[in-house]
Every structure is written in structure tokens, then in C-alpha cells.
Amino acid sequence: MGTNWLPLQSFPREGRRLVLDDPRVWEDPIAEFGLACRIVEPLRAQMQIFPQDRGVLFRGRLTGTIVLPCVLCTEDSLVVLDQRFDSFEPFPADPALREERDESPAHEVDEAVIRITPHGGYELNPAGLAWEEFSLALPVNPLCREDCRGLCPLCGANRNREDCGCERPEGDPRLACLRDVVLAGKQKNQDAARGRDAEEKDHGCAAE
């Protein structure tokens, strides 16, 4: 991740304005996390950072345009970002203090954003803040278009472009496994009935 640790003491109480438009701020973590994301219009985060007693308050705006794979057909899904944010990042607890209070490491805050210096001060990584906001701004289910028809589950054809003509599986595919269970159960009953028929012929009572 693009890192540029700034000592928080250097930030005035009334806030400091920062603009992050170096492509590496996003390109490095995109590569690091293997994110299928392409930047088509430069990403830019402008923020105002206010040091507080227990953490850092930051407000700003993130803009840019990216391409993500559509969740249904994997074709390009264009995502225009224009996100305002207003967040608070608490200071990480001093490791020595935390041990004393027997706090679990689960309370640990993201060390990629704020860290404690060996001298007991704090350092801030604005690129980490920008990346956090970027991650939050990403759509969970990007679509190439509202009515994307997805890929054919049988032959893999993109149904937005062609009608492959495959027979659609009957019923709700999510219930297919249940249907198999029911069929298997029925089969078992029939087998059992057949077995019984062989033993006692003309019993006359079907197990259907």
C-alpha cells in the first residue's frame, strides 16, 4: 500500500487539508489485494484531517471512475465514484497498556492508518484513510447493466449477446438439490415395495 506516514503533531488543531491524487495510492493496494478493478478516470481524495483527543476526524470527498467485473456476466461494469465521507479513526491502544487491561487484540484498530511511534506519539497514513473510504465506496454487486441476463449455467454463453438455446433447467435451481432428495427417497420406497412384492405376492397394497 502506498504509505507516507505523517507525524500527527504536525497537524494543526483546526485541521489540515490534503489532496491524494497519486495513482499509486490506489493502484498499489489494488495489486496487493488482487482486486479485479481498473481505474479509467483518476481517483482523487480530498480531505480535511482534524486531530482529536482520542483519534482523528477526517472529512472529504472521493471521486473517480473505475471498472469492476459484473457479478452476473463478468463483463465490464462502469462505476462512477463520488463519495463524501465523514469518519473517525481512533488511536491504537498502547500495546503495554492493552496487556495491563487484558484487552483482546480484536480491539486493535487498523495499523495501516494510525500507528504509535517509538516515542509515544502517533503517525497517520492518509493513503490508508483514502483506501478505506475507497473500499467502502465499492458496490457489493456491480452489474454491467440493470437487466443483465448473466451467463448460461449450461454452456457459459453470455445471454446479453446471444440466445444459446439451452433448455432451462426446470423449476427453481436453488431447489434442485431438494428435488433430488425427494426423488431419491421415492426411489427407495419403490425399491422397498418391490422387495416386499417379491416376498409376498399379490399383497395388494401399493407403497406409493
Give the chain's count of helices (H) and strands (E).
4, 7
Query: Minimum distance from CB of 151 to Zn ion (Å)?
Result: 8
Which CB atom, from 15 or from 150, has the smaller least distance to Zn ion? 150
Selected range binding Zn ion among 15-23, 45-53, 125-133, 162-170, rule: CB under 5 A: 162-170
181 binds Zn ion (CB under 5 A): no
Q: Take residue 27 and report the three cell numbers written for it.
A: 493502484
**Cβ closest to Zn ion, residue 87 vs residue 160:** 160
Which one among 154, 175, 182, 184 touches Zn ion, defined by CB under 5 A? 154
Residue 36 found at the interface with Zn ion (CB under 5 A):
no
Residue 176 binding Zn ion, by CB under 5 A = no
Which residues in the 64-93 window bind Zn ion by CB under 5 A?
A: 70, 72-73
Could you please report the per-residue DSSP string of 119-171?
TS-EEE-HHHHHHHHHHHHS-SS--SSTT---B-TTT--BTTT----PPPPSS
Closest CB 17 distance from Zn ion, rounded Å = 39
H helix intervals, the chain? 24-32, 95-101, 126-137, 176-199
Q: How many CB atoms lie within 10 A of CB 116?
A: 15
Chain length of the chain: 208
The closest of 59, 54, 57 to 92, measured between CA atoms, is: 54
**Nearest to Zn ion of 119, 168 (CB atom):** 168
In whole angstroms, what is the distance from residue 3 CA to residue 118 CA? 18
In terms of CB distance, is 4 or 74 closer to Zn ion?
Answer: 74
**Residue span binding Zn ion (CB under 5 A) among the ranges 83-91, 93-101, 107-115, 157-165:** 157-165
Interface positions, 94-153, toward Zn ion (CB under 5 A): 144, 148, 152
What are the residues binding Zn ion (CB under 5 A)?
70, 72-73, 144, 148, 152, 154-155, 157, 164, 166
